[in-house]
Amino acid sequence: MKYSHLTLIVLLVLGIAPSVAAAQQSADLQKLDRLPAPRFDIPLENQTSSGSVKLVWDSDYDIDTTRVAHRIFELQESADSLFVTANTRYKGPDLASYISGLPDGTFYYRVREIRPSGYASDWSPVVQVHVEHHSLQLAYTLFGIGGTVFLLTVGVVLLGVRRTSREQQQKQG
């Protein structure tokens, strides 16, 4: 009888202690996983004529980084503001992403933070990037001007070299 009581106590301790620890860990994780949505550190509306944009974000969530080894952010891009079809442009610990090579159009971006446990924050407010490249007419005009300046510069140097070397030869002759 005495033995069975002892067994019962041991079983209770063995059974309860882990469950208490598990409950504590779970509460801890829940606390950790109540993530505020990250926010972009750039204006919500942006324009570019080069097709490049730098997206910078941050999170107010201040945690002990020794407890949570990795912060993972997911950056999504979409051609519609509701993100019906969205494309993940980046997933990782960085706090910025430089996007280039965008065609004409309007693009929408949002970011969220994901814990290793799988919990995710809400999405950030959406950033809009309107891409309107310079007109090709302007590009061709500047290309033509640049080409002309270059060719004339080459001409000045080469003709100058030819003339001065001829002058030198005449002097020596």
Partner 1 sequence: MEHQSAVLSANYGWILLALLGVIWVALGVYWGRKAKSMEGFMLAGRNVGLALGAATAMATWVTSNTTMLAPQFAYELGIWGMIAYSTAAFGLLLFAPLAKRIRQLMPHGFTSGDFIRLRYGRTAWYVFLAISIFYGFTWLISMGMAGGILLNALAGIPYQVGMSVILLVCVIYTLFGGLYAVIGTDFIQSLIILIGIVIVGVGVLSFVDFEQSYTHLISERPMLINVLLPAAVMAIFNNLLFGIGEIFHSNVWWSRAFAMRQDVGKKAYMLAGFFWLPVPIAAGFIALTSGALGINVTSPDMVGPLVAASVLGKIGAIVVFIVAFSSLASSIDSLLAATSDLITEDIYRKILNPKASEQTLRRASAYIIIGLGVLAWLICLPRIGTLGTVLFFAGPMVGSTIWPIATGLFWKKASTTGALWGMLSGSILGLIAYFELGWYTASLIGAATSMVVVVIATAFSKSRFDWVKLDEAHPETTGGSTS
Q: Could you list the residues that contact partner 1 (CB under 8 A)?
A: 49-52, 54, 56, 87, 89-90, 92-98, 100-103, 133-136, 138-140, 142-143, 145-150, 152-154, 156-161, 163-164
What are the tokens at 34?
A: 């109540």
Instruction: Quote the least distance from Cβ 78 to partner 1, whole Å.
Output: 13
Instruction: Quote the least distance from Cβ 53 to partner 1, whole Å.
Output: 11
What are the tokens at 128?
A: 């809009």
Instruction: Quote the least distance from Cβ 96 to partner 1, whole Å.
Output: 4
- The nearer residue to partner 1, 24 or 153, going by C-beta atoms, is 153
User: Which amino acid is located at 22 in the chain?
Assistant: A
CB atoms within 10 A of CB 38: 25
Strands 105-114 and 72-78: antiparallel
CB atoms within 10 A of CB 130: 15
In a 3-state reduction of DSSP, which class is residue 150?
Answer: helix
- The nearer residue to partner 1, 12 or 142, going by C-beta atoms, is 142
- 59 within 8 A of 36, measured Cβ to Cβ: yes
Instruction: Quote the least distance from Cβ 120 to partner 1, whole Å.
Output: 19
- The nearer residue to partner 1, 11 or 150, going by C-beta atoms, is 150
Size of the chain in residues: 173
- The nearer residue to partner 1, 11 or 152, going by C-beta atoms, is 152
